[in-house]
């Protein structure tokens, strides 16, 4: 959902990089194996800032730097029409435009510019999560259609 990029100010606020917008609406975050209540969030210059309960100093905020932020799936609001939480796509079949089954979504990760879908079939494939590759997501059929060669 995001990663702690560092501190903001001297009162324990953290900066969150790669923040998903829905993160600001969640009242509890898991960071580095610990649960934190979220006292307040705000956006500043395109960066999500958060004040966590129990994190009262710059040093305490800096101790969380580099840690991934996660939330319980149930805490997230419903995705907008045509949008998806990537976690909901894990386990879906991936087929190309010719109907060839490439495999099943194992996980997603970010390489910086975009998210990447790891697909496990007869071999592992890494597909960029971009509109030129991902053509259709059908949650009812549990299938993702992509433009990707079977021999790529």
Residue 8: which CATH number? 2.40.30.60
pLDDT > 90 fraction of the chain, expressed in percent and rounded = 76
Q: Are residues 69 and 119 in the same domain?
A: no
Which one of 55, 75, 95 terminates a domain?
A: 75
* Secondary structure element (H or E) that encloses residue 7, with its range: strand 2-8
pLDDT recorded at residue 49:
97
The SS3 of residue 14 is: strand
Residues in the chain: 152
**Are the C-beta atoms of residues 142 and 90 closer than 8 Å to each other?**
no
Q: Tens digit of pLDDT for each residue in 96-132?
A: 999 999 999 999 988 878 899 999 999 999 999 999 9
Query: Is 50 contained in some domain?
Result: yes
Which one of 24, 53, 75 terminates a domain?
A: 75
Q: Are residues 27 and 47 in the same domain?
A: yes
Query: Is 40 contained in some domain?
Result: yes
pLDDT recorded at residue 59:
97
Q: Tens digit of pLDDT for each residue in 39-76?
A: 999 999 989 999 999 999 999 999 999 999 999 988 88
Q: Are residues 43 and 96 in the same domain?
A: no
- Helix, strand, coil percent content, the chain, rounded in steps of 5: 10, 45, 45
Average pLDDT over residues 135-152: 96
Residue 110 CA, chain-centre distance (Å), reads 8
Q: Are residues 102 and 124 in the same domain?
A: yes
What is the extent of the structural domain holding 32? 2-75
pTM flag (> 0.75):
no
């Amino acid at each position: 959902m995001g990663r702690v990029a560092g501190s903001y100010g001297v009162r324990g606020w953290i900066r969150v990089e790669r923040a998903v917008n829905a993160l600001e609406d969640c009242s509890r975050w898991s960071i580095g194996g610990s649960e934190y209540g979220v006292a307040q969030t705000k956006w500043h210059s395109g960066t999500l800032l958060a004040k966590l309960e129990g994190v009262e100093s710059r040093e305490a905020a800096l101790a969380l730097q580099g840690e991934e932020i996660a939330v319980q799936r149930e805490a997230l609001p419903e995705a907008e029409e045509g949008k998806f939480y990537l976690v909901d796509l894990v386990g879906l079949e991936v087929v190309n435009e010719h109907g060839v089954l490439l495999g099943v979504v194992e996980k997603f990760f970010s390489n910086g510019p975009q998210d990447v879908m790891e697909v496990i079939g007869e071999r592992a494939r890494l597909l960029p999560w971009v509109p030129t590759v991902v053509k259709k997501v059908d949650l009812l059929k549990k299938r993702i259609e992509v433009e990707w060669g079977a021999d790529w």
